[in-house]
Structure 1
Amino acid sequence: MSDLEGRYRLLLRLYPDDYRRVRGEEMLGTYLDLTPPGRRWPSAADAADLVAGAVRERLRAAGAGGLLPGVRLAAVLAFVTATALSGLWAGAEQIVDPADRSVPAVGPFVSVGIVVWSAWLLAGAVDALAPVRWTRLAIIVALLLTVAVVPVADLAGLPRPPLFHLVPQATLGLLALALPASRSRWHRTVPLVAALGAGLTAGPVLSGRGTWNYRFDDGGILLTYAGVALLVTAVLVAAVLSLRGETRGLWATLVLFAPVGLLGLYVLSAMARDLLGSGPSTFAVIAGTAAAVVVGATGSLGAAVATCRRAPTSVTALDPARAVAQPCPTCGR
């Protein structure tokens, strides 16, 4: 056995044993036939395909085959929310009255956050015009700027968006990386339309409220409203899809628990502060609340998968020999 074959076999061990007994040799032969001579290691694309296929098959064996389609649906809803918020905050960044310097400013804007929100708006524009791989690249750039703005602004002594806004934005962006490639042109324009609509309608109204800007308390409330809107949308979509016998909407709702909770982090941390009887929300209270949100969301998703494992519904999971009738998730045959 060559080194290349051994490494492919090692990757195939990620698949469930029953599935590997039925499909393993066929998949191995396909990969070896398509590999150029002289290669000793599987390509990055092949390794990614095998890992993704193994995850799909393990979820299918656990009766949670709808989880990955649910993640892709959640990614669409998360990206629309992220771009809409970026349009809102980009509009609110503008200082309508140049003579009003009651708050710190960076040129004609309230903070350096305009760079971050512009990057997310650009990601929405790329999604409407280019293939999904370019959208993912634009999202990665926006994510890097979202993270980098904190140390850069602090070192330069410039005003920046608070973590209440940046953390949920980054969480939505991470989930948006799972955007499906097979979306219609109309669907791909929705994030950009949502961003432009939020910026044109809400931005001027908010930025004209005297000394108000999105760094103050109102912004936390608006984020909570956005989280509630995202959750309600996910529940409605799940209800409609359930009527058609699809479970991906239910999984999408579970996946969105973490970003929805982080969108409400301002309110949740204030509630935790009141419960603990402490003063203003300290970093420890905020960090603890955020950790509780992530752990709770992850736990609920894990519990759902465990429940499916105890009561499998997949024919393949009940009878692995029937897997031959199913198309291979990697080669499609």
Structure 2
Amino acid sequence: MNPHLRSRYRALLRCYPAAYRAEHGDELVDMYLDLAHPGQRFPRPGDVADLVRGGARQHLRARQATGLADALPLAAMAAMPAAAALAAVLLLRVEYVPDMVFQIRHPGPFLSLGAFAWLAWLLPPVTALAGPARPAVWLALAVTAGITVAGPLAPYDEGVPLFVVVPQLALGVVALAFPARPAAWLRLAPLAAAAVVTALTLAVMRVPGTYWQVHTAHLAAAGLLATTGLAASGVLLARRDRRGLWPLLILLVPMVLLAQVGVEPATRPDLIARLVRAAAPGVLALAVLPLAVLISGRRQRP
């Protein structure tokens, strides 16, 4: 067996706590080497992902915060319909611009290439009905990242503003934890929730607008996350479930990002100033998770 492959797998074990590496490191490396293909020189991407996930779980377990990992699927079941509902509203109220509304040249019936990103975000709740939704979420993330870069380069395309893209990407990252084989009613829940939130938002937002004017859509998505997170955490706390407040804490970052966009004025302020204003609460919300993990570990110590 290639000694370089062994050393590369061993380097990946740095994702795990030192105590776990000392006890199980050789066993893990030998297992991955046994599964390696002849002539393989580098760890496979799937192996890298497995080791990173396993290391994160072991770090959480060492800090008595395993409820965080177990709460991720619950948070994903709220993030996926929020992302789909927001995408549907942006598609119908921003991107779909008949000539009688905006007298500008645009690709087909849509304002920009951003329409393809919002169409991609409609797929995950549908694919969840029949099988794993994670590939569709990865596709939507990739398309969104692609149009963010390529949009401004296309003719007659101003692109999707970053302050709209960032909350959507945050929702997508959380949605990646959607369970691969949920119960039958859980497969339908994201699609049903997305349809209800979309219908209610469109009923309120009857007039098309620009990305700087559709704050109602972001507030509706933030409201869905807050309602779902509070309900899930309340039930878990009442049952003394170790997941407790973790679903709400996981959803806090996309919730804050969505709310930040939702309270912006309906004009086009300087983009840099807008991003700076959005960064502070987003960073503070992101810092809540490691802080909660640290507090959880200290509380469990004898």
What interval of TM-score do these two structures reach, taking the shorter chain for normalisation? 0.7 to 0.9
The answer (yes or no) to whether the contact 1:62–1:305 under 8 Å persists in 2 is: yes
SS across alignment from 1:182: coil
Which segment drifts farther, 179-188 or 100-109? 100-109
Classify 1:133/1:230 alpha carbon distance in 2 versus 1 (closer, same or farther; 3 Å).
closer
Whole-angstrom distance in 2 between the partners of 1:298 and 1:216: 25
Whether 2:30 is the aligned partner of 1:42: answer no
TM-score for the superposition, normalised by structure 1? 0.76
Partner of 2:280 in structure 1? 292
The answer (yes or no) to whether the contact 1:83–1:124 under 8 Å persists in 2 is: yes
Q: Residues 71-93 of structure 1: CA distance to partner in whole angstroms, max 9, x if unpaired?
A: 33222211110001122223324
Partner of 2:211 in structure 1? 215
- Aligned AA for 1:56? R
Q: Identity over the aligned pairs, expressed in percent?
A: 34
Greater Rg over alpha carbons, structure? 1
The answer (yes or no) to whether the contact 1:257–1:297 under 8 Å persists in 2 is: yes
Partner of 1:189 in structure 2? 188
The answer (yes or no) to whether the contact 2:79–2:175 under 8 Å persists in 1 is: yes
2:233 maps to which of 235, 238, 241 = 238
Whole-angstrom distance in 1 between the partners of 2:274 and 2:174: 22
TM-score for the superposition, normalised by structure 2? 0.82
- Structure with the bigger RCO (C-alpha within 8 Å, sep 6+) is 1
Which segment drifts farther, 23-32 or 54-63? 23-32
Classify 1:286/1:304 alpha carbon distance in 2 versus 1 (closer, same or farther; 3 Å).
same
Alignment of 1:33-72 (within 5 A): 33-72=34-73
Unaligned runs of 5+ in 2: none
Classify 1:149/1:195 alpha carbon distance in 2 versus 1 (closer, same or farther; 3 Å).
farther
Alignment of 1:216-295 (within 5 A): 216-217=212-213, 219-267=214-262, 281-295=269-283
The answer (yes or no) to whether the contact 2:252–2:285 under 8 Å persists in 1 is: yes
1:237 deviates by 0.6
1:263 deviates by 0.6
- Aligned AA for 2:123? L
- Aligned AA for 1:228? G
1:189 deviates by 2.9
The answer (yes or no) to whether the contact 2:233–2:245 under 8 Å persists in 1 is: yes
Q: Residues 260-319 of structure 1: CA distance to partner in whole angstroms, max 9, x if unpaired?
A: 11111235555xxxxxxxx97432331112211221012211211111232336xxxx8x
Whether 2:302 is the aligned partner of 1:307: answer no
Unaligned runs of 5+ in 1: 271-278, 319-333
Classify 1:15/1:170 alpha carbon distance in 2 versus 1 (closer, same or farther; 3 Å).
closer
Whether 2:100 is the aligned partner of 1:100: answer yes
Whole-angstrom distance in 2 between the partners of 1:74 and 1:179: 8
1:62 deviates by 1.3
Whether 2:163 is the aligned partner of 1:168: answer no
Partner of 1:129 in structure 2? 130
Whole-angstrom distance in 2 between the partners of 1:43 and 1:120: 28
Whether 2:10 is the aligned partner of 1:9: answer yes
1:146 deviates by 4.9
Classify 1:149/1:46 alpha carbon distance in 2 versus 1 (closer, same or farther; 3 Å).
closer
Classify 1:43/1:157 alpha carbon distance in 2 versus 1 (closer, same or farther; 3 Å).
closer
1:61 deviates by 0.4
Classify 1:214/1:197 alpha carbon distance in 2 versus 1 (closer, same or farther; 3 Å).
farther
Partner of 1:327 in structure 2? none
Partner of 2:115 in structure 1? 114
Classify 1:200/1:250 alpha carbon distance in 2 versus 1 (closer, same or farther; 3 Å).
closer
Across the two proteins, how many residue pairs are aligned to each other?
299
SS across alignment from 1:158: coil
